[in-house]
A and B are shown apart, each in its own frame.
Chain A
Amino acid sequence: MKDVNGVELTIFIVFFAVVTVVGFAAARWRRGQTIMHLDEWGLGGRSFGTFITWFLLGGDLYSAYTFVAVPSAVFAGGAMGFWAVPYGAIAYPIVFLIGPRLWSVAQRHGYVTAADFVRGRYGSRSLGLAVALTGILAMMPYIALQLVGIQAVLTVMGVSGSGWAKDLPLFIAFALLAAYTYTSGLRAPALISFVKDALIYIVIIVAVVYIPTKLGGWDGIFSKSGAALAKPNPATGKPAGSLFTNDMTHWAYGTLALGSSLALFIYPHSVTGALAAGRRDVIRRNAALLPAYSLLLGLLALLGYMALAHPGVVAAVKHAGNPQLAVPELFDQVFPDWFAGVAFAAIGVGALVPAAIMSIAASNLFTRNVYTSFIRPDASPEEETRVSQLVSLLVKLGALVFVLGFDKSLAINLQLLGGIWVVQTFPAIGIGLYTRWLDRWGLLAGWAAGMAYGTYTAYDQSSPAQSHFGSPLADIPFIGHTGYIALTAFVLNMVVAVAVTLVARALKVPSGTDETTADDYTADAGDRLAAPEDPAGELTGQSA
């Protein structure tokens, strides 16, 4: 193990201290009448404009997973790791189609979670519960991954010890995160995301301008990476990857992008970020503005090639046996110490923001769709908020256990397993926002089928490193190609949902009460009622 790098660590700690102060101060930022209401603690007062929402959702969706795991996937496998770029693009037409409608209906009915909407739309507490539990389940490994990101940075800075001391810095970081999330709620990550994004943008711009000059330009980076990827792996005799997808991997590439893009916006933390917006238009505009982050993601992914083209980084990563270290090692070896410290702070803070939002989202789901729905139907807003605050602590504790107890490469695959699960709630949420044609029992049956198939198939995949959950890819039945399990399970889910719906219709099974109306899905903040706003609009609205 190497020595602690004092300069890097000092800068890293200074930024963490700043962020902690900001996190606690956020409780006073844009303060409502009370923090003890889920609209305030859990949704920041439902008042954020385009600008704040852009930072909040950006801070939310682009996490340590993006900064550490995506480049390391490119580092390890070449083009296959680049699927995150099409994913980061095609997710946004879907956000544009379902986001504004979810925002409007939630605004009208005071929904705090997507599961609230499903319960109200289909008049089914069980369907709401299924959606909520799926969301909570999927959040755990995702939060754990943020910890893996912080751990990678700490390792490269030389912060290590033996026994429990090794994990002490991680405990401290998470205890601080838990404390300010508890007091400030969603306002903390919203305010911190400004700091985070400023850091990230500076680091990326410097990295993509400066590092290629040291590695012989982009030409040099791509040709060296291509050569490194083509070398056969001594264990398998096959090359690690290539610069382009081929006949074997086109399907995997496309299905990973499509399956993940279906999941992006129905992840509980995305919903929490979106429902915190103050106006419907904020979501529509952000669907067009958020791809700016995906451009950043693409450049970040290419850091994987820069690492691959740098012999010192390749040697260090090989020595440590952990490809997650590729980007931190690259920064450590290429940048002067002070700037490497800034870069590590960017990754560290970039992990804290989503971890905070995810734990808030998971606790909102528990409070609204388990606690209030099944245990205490007459809980006051204050009681709901107290429960959410406590659960947010438990969720973080759970994630901590996760990251300490499980192998890291396993955690990465479990995140893609999270995607497999979350996509199974798309029919109830995404399709439910447009039509109520699918029956609630059909949706429940489809969800069960998709979850069972997806989980079992993922469990069944082995890799050289592990015998289960070795890969998010499996053969697609009837197609004869390898693809993302999430999408196959989603198709099965839909087929079952439609079939059961037809049976339910034939048997005249009651379909439950829909508490929403068609009008709710296009409502804006101002028009709680059908506002008689400018009658002239009726005439000019067509051509406006």
Chain B
Amino acid sequence: MSETSPAPTSPPGPSLARKVVAGVLLVIPFAVYLAVPTYAKGGPHVAGFPFFYWWQLLWVVLTAVCIGSAHLLTRKRGEAK
């Protein structure tokens, strides 16, 4: 999913398995957010927030976690610094 170019001159990219997992991680936020009817409701409430609102705010954080994990999974040597 992420970048690679198996040209002989470039250093080897991440393995296919890692890239597939990273790709899935990047697709999850789309699946969650575009399924609008699944979260368009009031309950359960958390700290006064209806589900519609806390669920979407929570997934902002989880989206960041997904992208961060995809980054760590597909990072090339030399980018680790």
Q: Which of these, B5, B11, B26, B61, contacts A93 with CB under 8 Å?
A: B26
What's the Cα separation between A86 and B68 when bound, in Å?
A: 18
With an 8 A cutoff between CB atoms, is A452 at the interface?
A: no
| Minimum C-beta distance from A91 to chain B (A) | 9
| Contact in complex: A288, B68 (CB < 8 Å) | yes
In residues 31-57 of chain B, which contact A (Cβ within 8 Å)?
A: 33-34, 36-37, 40-42, 45, 47-50, 52-53, 56-57
CB-CB under 8 A for A541 and B60, given A90-B30, A101-B3: no
Q: Closest residue of chain B to A542, judged by CB?
A: B15
B70 CB contacts on chain A under 8 angstroms: 93, 96
Q: Which of B5, B7, B67, B79 meets A291, CB within 8 Å? A: B67
Contact assessment for A518 and B64 in the assembled complex, using a CB-CB cutoff below 8 Å = no
B77 and A544 form a contact (CB under 8 A): yes
A93 in contact with B3 (CB, 8 Å): no
Q: Quote the shortest CB–CB distance from A158 to chain B (angstroms).
A: 34
Q: How many residues of A contact B (CB 8 A)?
A: 61
Q: Which residue of B lies closest to A294 (CB)?
A: B60
Main SS of the interface on chain B?
loop
Q: Are B67 and A217 in contact (CB under 8 A)?
A: no
**B34 and A533: CB pair below 8 A?**
no
Could you tell me how many residues of chain B have their Cβ less than 8 Å away from some Cβ of chain A?
50
Does B3 lie within 8 Å of A524, measured CB to CB? no
* Chain A proximity of B79: nearest CB distance (Å): 5
Q: Is the CB of B60 within 8 A of A533?
A: no
A302 at the interface (CB under 8 A from B): yes
In the assembly, what is the distance between CA of A534 and CA of B29, in Å?
36
Once the chains bind, are A244 and B42 in contact (CB under 8 Å)? yes
**A250 surroundings in chain B (CB, below 8 A):** 36-37, 40
Contact of A85 among B1, B56, B64, B81 (CB under 8 A): B56
A451 neighbours in B (Cβ, 8 Å): none
**In the complex, which residues of chain A have a beta carbon less than 8 angstroms from the beta carbon of B2?**
96-97
Q: Is the CB of A86 within 8 A of B78?
A: no
Does any Cβ of B come within 8 Å of A397's Cβ? no
Bound state CA distance, A88 and B64, in angstroms?
11
Other-chain residue from B41, B68, B76 in contact with A244 (beta carbon distance below 8 A): B41
Contacts of B10 in A (CB 8 A): 519, 522, 530
A86 with B56: in contact, given A257-B33, A287-B67 (CB under 8 Å)? yes
C-alpha spacing A285/B10, complex, angstroms:
22
CA distance A90 to B80 in the complex (A): 25
Partner of B52, one of A79, A285, A291, A526: A79
Q: A93-B70, A254-B36 are in contact. List 20 more A-B contacts (CB 8 A).
A: A86-B33, A89-B33, A90-B63, A93-B67, A97-B2, A97-B26, A104-B3, A218-B48, A218-B49, A221-B48, A244-B50, A245-B40, A246-B40, A254-B33, A287-B67, A291-B60, A295-B57, A518-B5, A521-B3, A524-B78
A-B contact pairs, 13 of them (CB 8 A): A85-B56, A90-B29, A92-B64, A254-B33, A258-B34, A284-B75, A288-B68, A298-B53, A519-B5, A521-B3, A522-B3, A538-B12, A541-B11
Residues of B within 8 A of A (CB): 1-5, 7, 9-15, 26-27, 29-30, 33-34, 36-37, 40-42, 45, 47-50, 52-53, 56-57, 59-61, 63-64, 66-68, 70-71, 75-81
Please list the residues of chain A having a beta carbon within 8 angstroms of any beta carbon in chain B. 79, 82, 85-86, 88-90, 92-93, 96-97, 100-101, 104, 217-222, 243-247, 250-251, 253-254, 257-258, 280-281, 284-285, 287-289, 291-292, 294-295, 298-299, 302, 517-519, 521-522, 524, 526, 530, 533-534, 537-538, 540-542, 544
